[in-house]
């Protein structure tokens, strides 16, 4: 009798709902896409820091800047062949850009599906950088294509593109009004993107908290300001004749 009573008390498994199985794995989740976006963004941020440091060598004259351009193609020698290290950097950067763009697009589509009617009033705390994040990404994507065709392949370069002479090529580009406009607008977009992106990446990766909030904001603003100022200083120097 006691055995029968115990048996009757067992919870029945018939008709009980099964726990949902994750479909698609880590990448399919919102957190997964945000993590990919954060990590790829940090990779691109590291590249921007190195890139602006290289750009500032133009202020030391054509020999210094052209030597830097030559070093980019022979770095890793003699272990690596000519331009192998440079192409490795390009492949990693291209993969980061693609991962960042795809995850951003899919998160945007997921957000639209979640609230198809949109908000009647925008959040007051949303900054200008937050509201223009998507358009900033499109602007930067178009700029990357133009920048490569201008100073890497020379396809749309004004005047005569000279392979192995980056100093003269940069001066040629920023001697045109449209080259300056395109570059300055893109660099302002970079600043806004970095300012918001750095903060978002910290939150996604679990670095941000109430104690570090002020420090992270200072770092985000500082990085955005330094990078923007560093990049725009080159076309301004060409326009003013400081670099010629």
Task: Report which of 54, 49, 84 is spatially closest to residue 69, judged by C-alpha positions.
Answer: 54
Q: CA-to-CA distance for 191 and 218, rounded, in angstroms? A: 14
pTM: 0.82
Residue 167 CA to residue 181 CA, distance in Å, equals 19
The two tokens of residue 236 are 């301004």
**Interaxial angle between packed helices 62-74 and 166-173, expressed in degrees from 0 to 180 and rounded to the nearest 10:** 120
Separation in Å, CA 17 to CA 9, 14, 20: 19, 9, 9
Distance CA 83, CA 73 (A): 4
pLDDT score of 21: 47
| Of 226, 201, 236, the residue nearest 216 (C-alpha) | 201
DSSP one-letter string for 86-148:
HHHHHHHHHHHHHHHHHHHHHHHHHHHHHSTT--SS--TT--HHHHTHHHHHHHHHHHHHHHH
pLDDT (0 to 100) of residue 115: 67
**Residues sharing a CB contact under 8 Å with residue 214, sequence separation 6 or more, in sequence order:** none
- Residue 117's pLDDT is 56
Q: For the purposes of burial, counting CB atoms within 10 Å of the CB of 133, is it exposed (0-12), middle (13-18) or buried (19 or more)? A: buried
Q: What is the pLDDT of residue 111?
A: 77
SS3 state at 97: helix
pLDDT at 83: 93
Q: What is the pLDDT of residue 133?
A: 76
pLDDT tens digits in sequence order for the chain, 244 residues long: 444 444 445 544 454 445 444 456 888 888 999 999 999 999 999 999 999 999 999 999 999 999 999 999 999 999 999 999 999 999 999 999 999 999 988 888 887 787 655 544 455 444 555 566 778 888 999 999 999 999 999 999 997 899 989 999 999 999 999 999 999 999 999 999 998 888 888 888 887 677 778 888 889 999 999 999 999 999 999 999 999 8
What DSSP character marks residue 11? P
């Amino acid at each position: 009798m006691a055995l029968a009573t115990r048996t009757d008390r067992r919870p029945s498994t018939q008709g009980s709902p099964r726990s949902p199985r994750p479909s698609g794995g880590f990448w399919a989740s919102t957190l997964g896409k945000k993590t990919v976006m954060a990590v790829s963004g940090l990779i691109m941020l590291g590249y921007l820091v190195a890139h602006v440091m290289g750009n500032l060598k133009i202020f030391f004259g054509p020999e210094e800047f052209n030597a830097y351009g030559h070093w980019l193609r022979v770095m890793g020698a003699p272990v690596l062949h000519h331009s192998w290290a440079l192409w490795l950097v390009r492949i990693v950067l291209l993969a980061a850009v693609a991962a960042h763009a795809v995850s951003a697009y899919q998160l945007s589509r997921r957000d639209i599906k979640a609230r198809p009617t949109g908000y009647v009033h925008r959040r007051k705390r949303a900054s200008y950088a937050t509201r223009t994040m998507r358009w900033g990404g499109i602007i930067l994507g178009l700029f990357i294509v133009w920048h490569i065709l201008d100073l890497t392949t020379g396809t749309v370069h004004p005047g005569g593109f000279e392979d192995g002479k980056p100093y003269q090529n940069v001066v040629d580009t920023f001697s045109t009004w449209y080259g300056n406009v395109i570059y300055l607008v893109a660099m302002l977009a970079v600043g806004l993107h970095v300012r918001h992106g750095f903060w978002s990446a910290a939150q996604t990766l679990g670095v941000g908290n109430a104690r570090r909030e002020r420090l992270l904001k200072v770092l985000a603003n500082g990085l955005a300001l330094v990078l923007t100022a560093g990049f725009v200083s080159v076309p301004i120097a060409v326009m003013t004749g400081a670099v010629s």
